[in-house]
Structure 1
Amino acid sequence: MTLQRQVGFWIGGLAVLALSLYVLRGILLPFIAGLALAYFLDPIVSRLEGIKVPRVAGALAVIGTFVVIFIVLTVVIVPILANQLTSFVARLPSYVVQLQALATEQNREWLQRVLGDRLPDVSRSVADIVTQSTGWIAGFVQQSLWTGGATFIYIFGLFIITPVVAFYLLKDWPRMMEKIDSWLPLQHRETILGLMREMNVAMAGFVRGQATVCFVLMVYYGMALSGAGLNFGLLIGLGTGFLSFIPYVGSITGLTLAVGVAIVQFWPQWTMVFVILAIFGIGIFFESYVLYPNLVGESVGLHPVWLMFALFSFGALFGFAGLMLAVPLAASLGVLTRFAIRQYLASPLFTGVARPRPHEGPGRPEM
C-alpha cells in the first residue's frame, strides 16, 4: 500500500469516527463516562490483581466503593449546593448593585471627571445588563437543570449505565488492549505502539493527575471559605476546585466571585476580605508549586490555551460528551502533531537532502 493510500485510509477512518460521534452524541455520554471511569480506576484494579485478587472481584470492589462514596456525597452535598445555587442566582443582582454603589460612592469625583454627565446612564446600563443576565441564568437553572422528565431520565440513565459500563471495561481491560494491539499493521506496529504509549502518558498525567488536583482544591476551598463564614462559600469553593481542571481558570474565577461576595457581606470590615484573599493566595501557591508539579508534571504537553480551545470546540460539536472527550483527544492530537513535526524535521522536505534509495550505496568508485 502506497503512502498516499495509507494516509487516505487513516483520514477516512478518523472522518467516520467523527461522524459517528456527531450522530450518536445524544446517547454517548454514559458510555464515554464509563470509559473515563474505567481508565481512571484501572491502575487500582491492576494493583489488586498484582496481589492475587481476581480481576473480576477487584473491579467489582473498586466500582462498588466508588458508587457508595458517590451516593453518599450526592445525598449530603447536592441538596446544599442546589439551595446555595438558587439563592446565589436570586441574590446576584443585589450583590452587583451594592458593589457598583460602593465603587461609585468611593470614586464618585474621579468617575464624574471621566464620564461626566454619562455616569447615571452608565450605571443604569450596567444594572440592566446584570439584571437581564441574571434572569437568563435563573431561567436556565430552573428549566434546564431541575425540570423536565427527559433530563431526569437522562441523568438516571447516566448514573445507572456508567458504573455498569465501567465494570465490564475494567474486567476486560487487559484483553481489550491485547486485542487492539493485534489489529495494528505489522510493518508500523512499533511506531504506533510508541505513539499510543506517549498518548497514554499524556492522558494519564493530565486526567488522573489533574482530577486529583481538582479534588484536593475542592476540599480545601470548600472547607476554607465555609469556615471563614463566606456566603455561598461551599458553592464557590467546590466550583473553584472543579474549574481548576483548566489551570488557573478556577482560581481566578473563584477569587473574583469570593472577593465580590466578601466585600458586600463584610463591608466595611476589610479584615475578612483580606482573609478571603489569603485563602486564595495559599490555594494558588499550593496548586502551582506543590500539587501541579507533583501530580501532573511537565510531560503532559497540554497548553492551557489549547485545552480551552479543545473544550469549547468539542463541547460545541458533541455536547457534554464532547467535553469529556476533549482532554484525551487534545492530548492525542498533541502527540500526533509532535510526531508529525519530528517526521517533517527529519524529511528531505525540511533538510533539502534526499535520502538514498535502499539499493543505492554510499557511492561507487569510478572506473
Structure 2
Amino acid sequence: MTKFETRCLSICFLLSVTAIFYWSFGALIPFIVGFVWAYLWRPLILKAQNHNISPGISAFCITFFTYCILGTTCIVLIPSVKHLLIFLFQNLSVGKEEILSMISSTLKKMHIPSQNGYWIERTLEDGLSITTTKLKEIMFYVLQSGWTVAKVLTIIAMAPFLSFYIMKDWGAFIKALTTCIPIPYRKEVLKGIESIHLTFSAYLRGQALVCISLCGYYGIALKYSGLQFGWLIGVLIGVFSFIPYVSVFLGICVSFLIALLTSASVSLKILGVIFVLGYGLEALFLTPFLIGKRIGVHPIIVLLAIFSLGHSIGFVGVLLSAPLTAIVVAFLRLIREYYLKSTLYQGRER
C-alpha cells in the first residue's frame, strides 16, 4: 500500500468515526458525561494508588460520594427551581404594569427625551411579554414532555455508574487504545494526545474551581442582599458559569426582575455592585489564575466558538463551546509545531 493510499484510508476512517459519533451523539451522552467525570477524578485515583489503594476501591468511594451529592441536589434544588419558575410566571403576568411604570418614572428622572423613552419602554414591554410567554412554554414543556425528563434522569443516574467502570479499568482501557495506534505513528500520536490532555485537564479542573468559587460568592452575596431566591440564583450562576457570559447575563436579568417584582425590597444599586464585583473576580482573578495562562484562549475566540457552535447545533453547542475550543487550540498548536519543523516552512530538505 502506497503512502497516498495509507493517508486516504486514515482520512476515511476518521471521517467515518466522526459521522458515527455525530449521528449517535444522543445515545452517547451518558458515556461522555461518565468519561469526563472519571477524567476529573483521575489524579485522585493515582494518588490513592501510590498509597496502595486499588482503583476499584477508589472508584467505588467516588461513585458513592457522587450519588450522595446528586441525591441531595435533587432534593434541595429541584423544588426550589420549581418555586422560582412559578414565582416568575405568576408575578410577571400580574406585575408587568408596575414594572413598566417604575421604568417610566426612572427614565423621566434621567431626563431622557420622550421619543427615546417611548422606544425603550416599548422594547422592555415586548421583552417582558416574550419572557412571560417563554416561561409558560418552559413550564408546560417540562410538565408534558415526560420522555425528555426521563432521558435527563437516565443520564444523571447512568453517568456515575458508567464512570465507576471507566475509573476502575482506566489503565487497561488506555493500554488497549495505545496498541491500536500504528507503530510508525505511535510516538507522534501519543505526543499529541498528551498535549491535548494537558490543555483539557487544565481547563476542566480550573473551570471546576471557578464554578465552586462563584457558587460561594454569588450564593452568599445575593442571599444577604435580601433578594428573594438569592441563594438559588447565586448557586445556579456558579454551576452554569462554564457556559461563558450566558449564566451571568441570565442571573443579572432574573435578579433585577425579582427585585422589581418584589417592590424593590433589595436595592438595585447593591445588586449592580454584586455583579460588577463578581464579574471582576471571575475575569481578573479566577479565570486568569486557574485557567488562563495554561490554555491561552482569548475571549474573542471563546465568543466566536459560542456563536458558531450555538448556531450549528443549538444549546448543546453553547454548552460544549469552551471545552471544544480548548481541545481545538491544543490541536492547532500541534499543527503549528509540525509546520515550523517542516521543509515547507524551513525551505530545505532534511
Partner residue of 1:300 out of 282, 287, 295:
295
CA 1:178/1:91 → structure 2, altered by over 3 Å: closer, same or farther?
Answer: same
1:354 aligns with 2:323: no
- Is the alpha carbon distance of 1:4 and 1:137 closer, same or farther for their aligned partners in structure 2, counting shifts above 3 Å? farther
Write out aligned runs for 1:1-367 (5 A).
4-92=4-92, 97-108=97-108, 110-115=111-116, 119=118, 123-124=121-122, 126-139=124-137, 141-262=138-259, 265=262, 267=264, 272-311=267-306, 314=309, 326-351=321-346, 353-356=347-350
Partner Cα distance (1:95, 1:41) in 2: 47
CA distance in 2, matches of 1:293, 1:252: 20
- For the 8 Å contact 1:205–1:297, the answer to whether it is kept is no
Return the letter of the residue paired with 2:71: I
- Structure 1 residue matching 2:293: 3-state secondary structure: coil
Q: Does the C-alpha gap of structure 1 residues 73 and 278 become closer, same or farther in structure 2, counting only changes over 3 Å?
A: same
SS at match of 1:52: coil
Residues in 2 aligned to 1:103 and 1:325: alpha-carbon distance in whole angstroms: 37
CA-based RMSD of the aligned residues comes to 3.1
1:32–1:324 contact (8 Å) kept in structure 2 = no
Matched residues in 2 for 1:144 and 1:43: separation?
A: 40
| Structure 1 CA distance for aligned equivalents of residues 123 and 275 of structure 2 | 31
User: Are the counterparts in 2 of residues 81 and 234 from structure 1 also a CA contact under 8 Å?
Assistant: no
- Residue deviations 1:159-178, cap 9 Å, x none? 33212211010011111112
Whole-Å Cα distance in 2 between the matches of residues 310 and 93 of structure 1?
36
Indicate the SS of the match to 1:295. Answer: helix
- State the alpha-carbon separation in 2 of the partners of residues 323 and 125 from structure 1: 26
Q: Which amino acid aligns with 1:160?
A: A
Alignment check: 8 A CA contact 2:60 2:164 kept: yes
What amino acid does structure 1 have at the position aligned with 2:47? R
**2:103/2:121 contact within 8 Å kept:** no
Cα–Cα, structure 1 residues 289 and 124, in superposed 2: closer, same or farther, change >3 Å? Answer: closer
TM-score using structure 2 length: 0.85
Q: Percent identity?
A: 26
| Partners of 1:152 and 1:246 in 2: CA distance | 22
SS at match of 1:330: helix
Cα distance 1:226–1:5, how it changes in 2: closer, same or farther (>3 A)?
Answer: farther
Indicate the structure with greater helix content: 2
Any gaps of 5 or more consecutive residues in structure 1? 357-367
Per-residue CA deviation, residues 8-29 of structure 1 (Å, 9 max, x unaligned), is: 3343233212211222123222
Output the CA distance in 1 between the equivalents of 2:272 and 2:173.
49
Deviations 1:310-365 (A, max 9, x none): 456556666776666554443322222222223334434445x2324xxxxxxxxx
Give the aligned residue type for 1:130: L
Alpha-carbon distance in structure 1 between the residues aligned to 2:320 and 2:124: 37
The unaligned stretches of length 5 or more in structure 2 are none
The alignment of Structure 1 onto Structure 2 pairs a total of residues equal to 349
Kept after mapping to 2: 8 A contact 1:63/1:163: yes
Higher relative contact order (CA 8 A, sep 6+): 1
- Give the deviation of 1:206 after TM superposition: 0.9
